[in-house]
Amino acid sequence: MKPAAFSYVKPATLGEALGLLSKHSGDAQILAGGQSLVPTLNMRLSAPDLLVDINGLDELSGVKLEGNHIRIGALTRHVDIENSSVIAEHCPLIALAMPHIAHPAIRNRGTFGGSIALADPAAELPACICALEAKIEVVGKGGERKIAAKDFFKNLFDTDLKDGEIVTAVEVPVVTPKTKLAFDELSRRHGDYAMAGLAVTAKMDDKKIENINICFFAISATPVLAEGAAKILNNGIMNDGSLKKAIEQLESDLDPLPDLYASSALKMHYAKELLKRNLGNWIS
Amino acid sequence: MSKLVQVTTSVNGENVSRGVEPRTNLVDFVRYDLELTGSHVGCEHGVCGACTIRLNGNIVRGCLVLAVQADGGTVETIEGLSESGKISDLQDSFLSRNAGQCGSCTPGMLLTADALLEENKKPTRTEIREYISGNYCRCTGYEAIVDAIETTSKKRQGEG
Amino acid sequence: MAGSNGLSIHDRPNSYIGRSVPRPNLSRLLKGRGSYADDVKLPRMLHVAFLRSSLAHAEIIKIETDKASAASGVVAVFTGKELAEVCSPWVGVVTHLEGMRSPPQDVLAVDRVRWQGEPVVAVVAQARALAEDAIELIEVKYKELPLAVNMKTALDADAEVIHKDYENNLCWERNVNVGDVKSAFAEADVVIEEEFQFGRHTGVTLESRSIVADYDPGEEMLTLYQSTQAPHMMQALFAKHLQLEEHKIRIICRDVGGAFGLKAHAYGDEFATVAISKILGRPVKFVADRMESFLADIHARDHVVKGKIGVSKAGKILAIEIDDLTGIGPYSVYPRSSGMEVNQICNLTGGPYKFENYKARGRVVFLNKPPMCQYRAVGHPIAITVTEGLVEMAASAIDMESMEMRKLNMVADDDYPNKTVSGIPVENLSHQASTDKLMEMVNYDEIRDEQKKLRQEGIFRGVGFAALIEVTNPGPAFYGVGGAPISAQDGCSVKLDAKGNLIVGTSITEQGQGAESVISQVVATAVGITPDKIKVISGDTENTPYGGGTWASRGTGIGGEAAAKAGKVIRDSILDVAGILLQNEPSTLDIQNNQVVNKSDGAERMSVAEIGRVVYYRGDTLPKDFQAEMMAVQHYFPKSYPFAFTNSVHCSHLEVDVNTGFIKLLKHWAVEDCGTVINPQNVDDQVRGGVVQGIGGALYEECIYNDQGQLLNGNLADYLVPMSAELPDIVVGHVESKTFESDLGAKGAGEAGTAGAPGAIMNALNDALMPFDVRLTRQPFTPQKVLEAIGKI
């Protein structure tokens, strides 16, 4: 299908972009990578009057090490993150996730910020940044604010972004020598949206687990942190017993939503399986 | 019909300037406005890869990029890559291995294979299969295509 | 059937038969220089888009199109009523499927919509996007009606009957009763019963259906650029329903981006496009986009089959019984009918085996879902999965190797001619030789040993087989007898030009399988001209002989033989002239590599190019009583057997992850006997492509409906087609049992891969899960189904 007609503008500055979004509130949509927006336009699921193309806002692009965190510009393309040595060294969880995102032609255009702002329940990056305790930087007419990742994803395709706001960057803490991570997803075909996925970060100090974040994606409407399971594993040395308990705890932590190919029971089973497979080798 | 936007871009080395509707995607622009019909349309939702085209040096889905976004940039299609001879060894391998049947996926496959071999000079068969896993082929069952890409990479490495 | 001087094509020197020469047309496709229907741009061409029904069953109360007609760029808007005045309705029934019924179908819905996606209004505009904009301005008032969307209940007394003139939703029923199954089952040591289910799925050709209709009122000539497999059939149908003369219709199908049977049917949206061009006197283009393809292309394979097998404890098959139910759309598709799947299933179940007692019932019911019709391997995957599933279950029950049981029951290679248990004559097959060859290719003992070891580590691998017979090269008994204007014969014209090149016209068509390559290789061999000097023209009703096109794996066997015959005639004609010019008997001469040579020592005497020059420019140097004829046309169709059956045997080796339910295909083997192989590489790749489509049906593909008849996964993200990373390499081997109906001896090869793969995969899956004592029989085999079966969820 062809999209419904829309007007197009490519602002030269962030200020201009914000002004346009404010002026056309409700009728305008941001065009960044377009890899999720354009299909919805092509299917006429979405019909904005105006597209605001922010691809010219170079200041929103780039990966920078800033002390104990990395600042990932929202407009940074997936391919650039995939190839970034800074990410590989300081944020390996995201590096692990990147090859799972669709296919090369999509990654050449899709952006980090776009994935965060869209908040597809099956997307990898929202779950990664929740597990990483990242902060999302957002700019609007009212100024700039920072939102903790876990507070950003509210409901199905629904984030804390207010009308007229743009995600400008995500701040991700860097790894330390004590960081342990896991990333995994189950999908039927390479590059498909996941049927279930897992992103885990923790600090392991002399085998003792601290500050573990267990985040699932493609299970619910938003990425979901398994807080009960994390509590069981925190401040202890993982063994078969504690892992088993944590896996059982998922029955309370998670309330999976079924989709076309997976019942809630299957989703729950996959969540448990992912936790078992990926944390199983943390047991010494 | 909304106001036309002027797009000036280099397509296969030739400068073109056209007024397009913002909603026109890049592959439709190339096919209908420029009459370069070698790039194909298979789904219009970015999944099948038939519209794979190069924008500013990288492969993209032509159905997911607006023509206006090519303004000031460069576009390369199968026609351009053929005429320049850049992929002639890939095309030769595809021809001798029968790696194309109906030809619908073929331009997209060649663009993707070309990008793969730029990134990875000696891909394993598994790596080849993963890289082209975003290009749908209904005819070949993919094996001939994997064979042809593997043969090309080996020849480029001087492995006969 | 040798040539006039007794030579068989198999005796030709420098033969191209059996050589993997590159396809002549592939070069241009590799350069992006294909010419598909959507590439065609004609002066003043318009675009049509369709408003389609969002409901599966409803009365159309009112259609308001005024706003659409006034929209920017819109030239015309047509409802079903308006187009019915220009295009007559059709009935998709073939008379030889006795008792089949289907009501008349209009190009666009007139009073009711009967499936989600049925076209209702046509909008014609200067661009597709503008037509779609206008569609949003159309208001259709519907009154929803109760639905019949479940085939299992569609014949119940309280089911909603879709067609008010019928007493129920039955379209057709076929019964076969051979021998006495009741007694045979009573006698049998073991009786196995099982129900098999197959997911409704669709072809998903990468090039969607496309047509450019150009009616020229000046010449009263209709030219169509259509992505079709059967241009002469379409010519006959357009003539009939649009009241045109056939010779005033020209159909061109230059490059077709995959068809697989999908593009051999009459579609309302395509006929509407042609009717509109006739009305407006301008070119009109219609390209189905991907979303509407899922709703508007024919679907296939929606079947539930109850199967029963009775065997002796020694492993002899005593009886097979099946009860097949299929839910098609609200109409049987025109002109081939939606009864062919059931017909084939009744014909082919039990195919490779010799047994006396067979009972089959097949019922076709109307549903409020998209119409169903022929798609690659038509009915075969179902017949073979059921048969081979029952065979492996029975073998397991009597503790016999399934291959041993097959060998015990297979029709022996020297037991021909024979008949299928359903009574169809079979010329010659090679089940035994093919099976032996397969078992040489498959490292079966290793696989079994490894399976045992890995089971102890909690890794579950399985191996499964499927043996089959396949219908190819059908004669007039397939469609013609039933009244369908589908030619069962094909022709080939060969013209020598003034430079020694051959211009060849064939009535078979090309959709990527290499039809033009086959014709080129056969003509090159028959005449003695090298392929670089041969140009093949296909897909043009004005420039090729009259014929059937390419479907049902008939192109090589039938079109190829016509080409062999025509080639021989031209060769004889060239040698007649050579004989005069060289003062030698033509029988002492031959043509090799573009040269007339001595048969005895191969010495070159003169070039064929020189013959061309003399014939065309210097006829004055030839005798007055001699007329050179450098253009030959020959036709062919098989006359002794209704089909050329082929046989195949497949093996699948896979691994099941019992924690995720994912199935990993490790390897697939297929031995194919399609008679003479013209181009081995092309044939092997046809088998591979076919296997992958079979894998699609077995593991991934299904049109998922809710109980309102709404398709839930009509896009390529949600409808899963096989992509490269999940597929194994596929090993193909051959045995060659030529058909003696033709000199070429070629049978068809296009569909057997699809026919055998699902059965082999199902058997391998159940073999892998043997320790769990479960059986999966409902395709596609998704992780959900696997885990539910083994009790993980």
Measured in residues, chain A has a length of 284
**C547 in Cβ contact with C489 (< 8 Å):** yes
Q: Give the three-state DSSP class for A225.
A: strand
**C376 in Cβ contact with C338 (< 8 Å):** no
Residues A154-160: what's their mean pLDDT?
96
Q: Can the peptide bond before residue C335 be classed as cis, meaning omega within 30 degrees of 0?
A: yes
- Same domain for A124 and A164: yes
Residues C428-451: what's their mean pLDDT?
98
pLDDT in tens, C683-738: 999 999 999 999 999 999 999 999 999 999 999 999 999 999 999 999 999 999 99
- Same domain for A264 and A188: yes
Give percent above pLDDT 70 in chain A: 100
- Count of other CB atoms within 10 angstroms of residue C407: 17
pLDDT in tens, C159-171: 999 999 999 999 9
Considering A173, A198, A229, which residue would you say is the last residue of a domain?
Answer: A173
Interface mutation target, options C28, C30, C667, chain B, most CBs of B under 10 Å: C30
Distant-in-sequence, close-in-space partners of B107: CB < 8 Å, separation ≥ 6: B38, B39, B40, B50, B52, B77, B78, C32
Q: For position A215, which CATH number holds?
A: 3.30.390.50
Considering A173, A197, A212, which residue would you say is the last residue of a domain?
Answer: A173
Shortest CA distance from C257: residue in chain B: B102
- Same domain for C693 and C582: no
Give percent above pLDDT 90 in chain B: 97
Contact A105 B60 (CB under 8 A): yes
- Same domain for C440 and C530: no
Residue C200 counted as domain residue: no
Residue among A4, A43, A109 whose CB faces B60 most closely: A109
How distant is the Cα of B31 from the closest Cα of chain A, in angstroms?
14
**C226 in Cβ contact with C251 (< 8 Å):** yes
Residues of A in contact with C128 (CB under 8 A): 2
- Same domain for C231 and C89: yes
The residue that leads in pLDDT, C643 or B133, is B133
Q: For position C346, which CATH number holds?
A: 3.30.365.10
Residue among B50, B97, B136 whose CB faces C723 most closely: B136
Residues of C in contact with A120 (CB under 8 A): none
- The C-alpha atoms of residue C739 and residue C430 are separated, in whole angstroms, by 12
Residue A1 counted as domain residue: no
- Same domain for A125 and A42: no
How distant is the Cα of C130 from the closest Cα of chain B, in angstroms?
8
**C242 in Cβ contact with C86 (< 8 Å):** yes
Residue A276 counted as domain residue: yes
- Same domain for C106 and C234: yes
How distant is the Cα of A218 from the closest Cα of chain B, in angstroms?
19
Contact A188 C792 (CB under 8 A): no
- The C-alpha atoms of residue C215 and residue C274 are separated, in whole angstroms, by 8
- Same domain for C345 and C464: yes
- Same domain for C682 and C574: no
- Same domain for A75 and A27: no
Res C387 pLDDT > 90: yes
Output the pLDDT for position C574.
98
Residues C517-536: what's their mean pLDDT?
97
Residue A4 sits at the chain B interface (C-beta within 8 Å): yes
Burial A184-197 (b: 16+ CB within 10 A, else e): bbbbbbbbbbbbbb
What is the full DSSP assignment across C210-244?
EEEEEEETTTTEEEEEE--S-HHHHHHHHHHHHT-
Which of the other chains make 3 or more beta carbon contacts under 8 angstroms with chain C? A, B
Q: Tell me the residues of C at the A interface, defined by beta carbons under 8 Å apart.
A: 128-129, 132-133, 136, 289, 291, 659-662, 700, 704, 712-713, 715, 717-718, 720, 723, 725-726, 782-784, 787, 792-793
How far from A2 is each of A7, A122, B20, C113, CA to CA, in Å? 15, 26, 14, 25
Q: For position A26, which CATH number holds?
A: 3.30.43.10
**SS3 annotation, C267-309:** CHHHHHHHHHHHHHCCEEEEECCHHHHHHHCCEECCEEEEEEE
**C675 in Cβ contact with C479 (< 8 Å):** no
Residue C646 counted as domain residue: yes
The residue that leads in pLDDT, C475 or C119, is C119
How far from B137 is each of B6, B53, B147, C721, C773, CA to CA, in Å? 35, 17, 15, 9, 37
- Same domain for A242 and A272: yes
Residue A166 counted as domain residue: yes
Q: Give the three-state DSSP class for A153.
A: strand
- Same domain for C587 and C441: no
Residue C602 counted as domain residue: yes
Residue B25 DSSP one-character state? B
With vertex at residue B147, the alpha carbon angle to CA B144 and CA B152, rounded to the nearest 5 degrees, is: 125
Give percent above pLDDT 70 in chain C: 99
pLDDT in tens, C19-73: 999 998 999 999 999 999 999 999 999 999 999 999 999 999 999 999 999 999 9
The letter for the amino acid at C561 is E
Res B160 pLDDT > 70: no
pLDDT in tens, A86-131: 999 999 999 999 999 999 999 999 999 999 999 999 999 999 999 9
- Same domain for A276 and A225: yes
- Same domain for C367 and C464: yes
- Same domain for C110 and C71: yes
Structural domains counted in chain A? 3
pLDDT in tens, C296-313: 999 999 999 999 999 999
Find the helix packing angle between C608-617 and C560-582, rounded to 10°. Answer: 80
Contact B101 C689 (CB under 8 A): yes
With vertex at residue B62, the alpha carbon angle to CA B56 and CA B63, rounded to the nearest 5 degrees, is: 145
Contact A3 B23 (CB under 8 A): yes
How distant is the Cα of B62 from the closest Cα of chain A, in angstroms?
9
Res A78 pLDDT > 60: yes
Classify residue C387 as left (phi > 0), alpha (psi -120 to 50) or beta. Answer: alpha
- Same domain for C267 and C135: yes
* CB neighbour class for C73 (10 Å; exposed up to 12, middle 13-18, buried from 19): middle
Beta strands at C317-327 and C357-365: parallel, antiparallel or unpaired? parallel
Residue C192 counted as domain residue: no
Is residue C762 within a helix (H) or strand (E), and if so which, with residue range?
helix C752-768
How distant is the Cα of C715 from the closest Cα of chain B, in angstroms?
8
Res A140 pLDDT > 50: yes
- Same domain for A163 and A126: yes
Beta strands at B58-61 and B52-55: parallel, antiparallel or unpaired? antiparallel
Output the pLDDT for position C2.
44
Res C380 pLDDT > 80: yes
Residue among B21, B49, B64 whose CB faces A35 most closely: B64
Phi, psi dihedrals of residue C38, rounded to the nearest 5°: -70, -10
Output the pLDDT for position C478.
84
Res B153 pLDDT > 90: yes
- Same domain for C347 and C323: yes
Output the pLDDT for position C1.
40
- Same domain for A62 and A163: yes
Residue among C30, C35, C38 whose CB faces B100 most closely: C30
Residue among C132, C660, C717 whose CB faces A2 most closely: C132
Residue A229 counted as domain residue: yes
- Same domain for C438 and C561: no
Give percent above pLDDT 90 in chain C: 97
Contact B97 C31 (CB under 8 A): no
Q: Can the peptide bond before residue C783 be classed as cis, meaning omega within 30 degrees of 0?
A: no
Residues of A in contact with C784 (CB under 8 A): 261-263, 266
Residues A137-161: what's their mean pLDDT?
95
**C509 in Cβ contact with C550 (< 8 Å):** yes
Structural domain of A102: 58-173
Local confidence band at B1 (pLDDT 50, 70, 90 cut-offs): low
Res B4 pLDDT > 80: yes
Local confidence band at C4 (pLDDT 50, 70, 90 cut-offs): very low
Helix residue spans in C37-127 (DSSP H) = 66-70, 80-84
**A158 in Cβ contact with A182 (< 8 Å):** no
Q: Give the three-state DSSP class for C76.
A: strand
Q: Which residue has the tokens 């005045």?
A: C85
Residues C756-768: what's their mean pLDDT?
98
- Same domain for A131 and A116: yes
Output the pLDDT for position A72.
98
Please report the domains of chain B, with CATH numbers, ordered by start residue: 5-81 (3.10.20.30), 85-156 (1.10.150.120)
- Same domain for A185 and A164: no
Compute the Cα dihedral for A198, A203, A209, A213 and give only its sign.
negative
Contact A190 C723 (CB under 8 A): yes
Candidates C580, C599, C738; CA nearest to C7 is C599
Residue C271 counted as domain residue: yes
Contact A260 C659 (CB under 8 A): no
Residue A280 DSSP one-character state? G
Q: For position C99, which CATH number holds?
A: 3.90.1170.50
- Count of other CB atoms within 10 angstroms of residue A40: 16
Residue A185 counted as domain residue: yes
Interface of A with B in 222-261 (CB under 8 A): none
Contact A105 B130 (CB under 8 A): no
**A124 in Cβ contact with A217 (< 8 Å):** yes
Considering A173, A205, A227, which residue would you say is the last residue of a domain?
Answer: A173
Q: For position A126, which CATH number holds?
A: 3.30.465.10
Shortest CA distance from B62: residue in chain A: A105
Residues A209-226: what's their mean pLDDT?
97
Candidates A191, C135, C512; CA nearest to B46 is A191
Give the strand order in the sheet containing B52-55: B14-20, B5-11, B74-76, B52-55, B58-61
Residue among A41, A53, A105 whose CB faces B69 most closely: A53
Structural domain of C243: 37-145+218-256+263-280
- Same domain for A195 and A272: yes
- The C-alpha atoms of residue C755 and residue C689 are separated, in whole angstroms, by 12
**A166 in Cβ contact with A140 (< 8 Å):** yes
Residue B35 sits at the chain A interface (C-beta within 8 Å): no
Residues C565-594: what's their mean pLDDT?
97
Average pLDDT of chain C is: 96
**C188 in Cβ contact with C318 (< 8 Å):** yes
Residues C764-790: what's their mean pLDDT?
98
Residues of C in contact with A186 (CB under 8 A): 660, 662
- The C-alpha atoms of residue C263 and residue C35 are separated, in whole angstroms, by 17
Residues of A in contact with C660 (CB under 8 A): 186, 270, 273
- Same domain for A127 and A43: no
- Cα within 13 Å of Cα(C626), Cβ side: 17
The letter for the amino acid at B29 is F
Residue C609 counted as domain residue: yes
Contact B64 A106 (CB under 8 A): yes
pLDDT in tens, B16-58: 999 999 999 999 999 999 999 999 999 999 999 999 999 999 9
Structural domains counted in chain C? 3
